[in-house]
Structure 1
Amino acid sequence: MINKPYNPEMALAYEKNARISIPTYDALFTMAQAYFRMQLGEKEASLLVVGAGGGNELSAWGPSNPNWSFTGVDISEEMLKIAKHKAAQLDIESRVTLIQGTMDDVQPSDAKFDAASCILVLHFVNDVKEKLKLLQTVKAHMKPGAPFVLVTAYGDPQAAELQDRLQVWKSFWLDAGTEPKRVQDMVEGGGIMKISFIPEKEIECLLTEAGFTHITKFYVTGLFGGWMCKAD
């Protein structure tokens, strides 16, 4: 239960920074929605949103899909306040349940989810075994054949390819008017490189091991990639 008022300054900063770091941020949600719509059709559907803080999945998918209901999970109380505020603004509160915590706090149920998303979450989980556990837990809450979208930072930290993409990411911030010293500090200070990068092939292997099939990469911008697949 999120009772305290949300922080509008934090909400604005989050929205601004996400769109600088990922210039195709809004297109990402449009693409994910298109995949879900093709899989779900017009039926009533329950969606699990892992990392729902900020409420952007709710904003992007809630108003135009009145047959969808959402269960959102996030560890951050502050970010869930933003999601709750957005749900109220969009008048979709009756279709939204928000849970502060991790996937371990989502109670098992016979009524499993028709679809799920995990957008910009996995790279905050450092241990590969914990990444696998998260994906396995998500899959366990999904109906057989249900569509899943995963978006995360990816790449081999030791490879030149990731370093080249890092330069592009830096240019996003410079083009947005960020001071060069601050951009360099964001890299050298460990900000962006503190998140857990793993190679693309390893991400696909984790999805397979977790029980997902039909794994297809559908999205790339800068440091981030997206995969669509189905629960086996």
Structure 2
Amino acid sequence: MNSTPSNPAEKFDTSRASEYAHQSRIALAGYDACQDLAACMLAASIGDAPSANILVVGAGGTAQEIIAMAGLEPGWRFMAVDPSQPMLEAARQQLQANHLLERTTLHLGHLEDLPADASYDAATLIGVLHHLEGDEAKRQILQSIRAHLKPGAPLIVAGNHYAYASQPLLLAAWGQRWRQHGASADEVKAKLGKILQGADPPNSEAAVQKLLHDAGFGDATRFFSSLFWGAWLTCKAGE
């Protein structure tokens, strides 16, 4: 693993934010399907409530999770949190284009900046965990999310798992995915290098489950998988 910056948000500068919508859909085969299914899983978990307040952690970039949820549930409102200004601005532009700014509060910063008594009906953490170095940082963000969730509230967690070097076939297929979209051998090497920079994914699905249990969540149900990527729904465990 390469050294992770002390502030992972530093990786998501203006250059990376500007290409994120295109590059993420190549790096993650099924990107939009994952977001759509995440919305469906949350809606199925929350039930028929006419309204809900959703905490979206790491919302910067495409804001696709908000777009998918908002399209499915017109009564939902969103708190979008991201520490990267360029990524949050990219999300703002997408939300504006989809007429969703009036349903979304944008917060530049971290969960710790939110009022301690802010409470939400559900949360998402998509594409974040593998950018945090070490299990302690991963547990801390999950615990912070839990602190802002109502009892029994659902959480969607999605991101890369497996140590990249431990899965050479998946890593090679990942390179082929870029080649499939027209990248040369040198470009594939560069793109994989950027993806791997500073990444520290949980090393297995069991490791993801343990992180969730340690942070006070119940057993997780996996509903999507694509090469290194997995997506799960869990719920806040009892007090």
TM-score by length of 2: 0.86
Map 1:154-193 to 2 at 5 A.
154-157=161-164, 159=166, 162-187=167-192, 189=193, 191-192=195-196
Query: Per-residue deviation at 1:63?
Result: 3.1
Q: Residue in 1 aligned with 2:203?
A: 199
Q: Residue in 1 aligned with 2:5?
A: none
Q: Specify which structure has the bigger relative contact order, considering alpha-carbon pairs within 8 angstroms and separated by 6 or more residues.
A: 2
Query: What is the distance in 2 between the residues matched to 1:197 and 1:11?
Result: 21
Q: Give the secondary-structure state (helix, strand or coil) at the position aligned to 1:213.
A: coil
Map 1:14-93 to 2 at 5 A.
14-43=20-49, 44-54=51-61, 55-93=63-101
Which amino acid is the alignment partner of residue 106 of structure 1?
Answer: L
Stretches of structure 2 that go unaligned for 5 or more consecutive residues are 1-13
Query: What is the distance in 2 between the residues matched to 1:197 and 1:115?
Result: 23
Q: Give the secondary-structure state (helix, strand or coil) at the position aligned to 1:78.
A: helix
Q: Give the secondary-structure state (helix, strand or coil) at the position aligned to 1:220.
A: strand
TM-score by length of 1: 0.89
Moved more, 11-20 or 170-179: 11-20
Q: 1:142 to 1:176 in 2, by over 3 A?
A: same
Query: What is the distance in 2 between the residues matched to 1:81 and 1:163?
Result: 36
Q: What per-residue deviation string (whole Å, max 9, x for no partner) do you get for residues 137-174 of structure 1?
A: 10111011111110111103452xx2211111111100
Query: Per-residue deviation at 1:193?
Result: 5.3
Q: Residue in 1 aligned with 2:229?
A: 224
Q: 1:89 to 1:191 in 2, by over 3 A?
A: closer
Query: Per-residue deviation at 1:132?
Result: 0.5
Stretches of structure 1 that go unaligned for 5 or more consecutive residues are 1-7
Which amino acid is the alignment partner of residue 215 of structure 1?
Answer: A
The answer to whether the 8 Å contact 1:42/1:67 transfers is: no
Which residue, 130, 140, 150 being the options, matches 1:133? 140
The answer to whether the 8 Å contact 1:212/1:229 transfers is: yes
Query: Per-residue deviation at 1:191?
Result: 4.0
Give aligned-pair identity as a percent.
Answer: 30
Q: Give the secondary-structure state (helix, strand or coil) at the position aligned to 2:218.
A: strand
The answer to whether the 8 Å contact 1:58/1:86 transfers is: no
Q: Residue in 2 aligned with 1:143?
A: 150
Which amino acid is the alignment partner of residue 177 of structure 2?
Answer: F
Cα RMSD (Å) = 2.1
The answer to whether the 8 Å contact 1:58/1:83 transfers is: no
Q: What per-residue deviation string (whole Å, max 9, x for no partner) do you get for residues 71-92 of structure 1?
A: 0100111111122222222222
Query: Per-residue deviation at 1:122?
Result: 0.8
Paired residues, number = 222
The answer to whether the 8 Å contact 2:165/2:171 transfers is: no
Query: What is the distance in 1 between the residues matched to 2:188 and 2:159?
Result: 21
Q: 1:219 to 1:231 in 2, by over 3 A?
A: same
Which residue, 19, 25, 30 being the options, matches 1:13? 19
The answer to whether the 8 Å contact 1:50/1:116 transfers is: yes
Which amino acid is the alignment partner of residue 213 of structure 1?
Answer: G
The answer to whether the 8 Å contact 2:160/2:229 transfers is: yes
The answer to whether the 8 Å contact 1:51/1:121 transfers is: yes
Runs of 4+ off more than 3 Å: 8-12
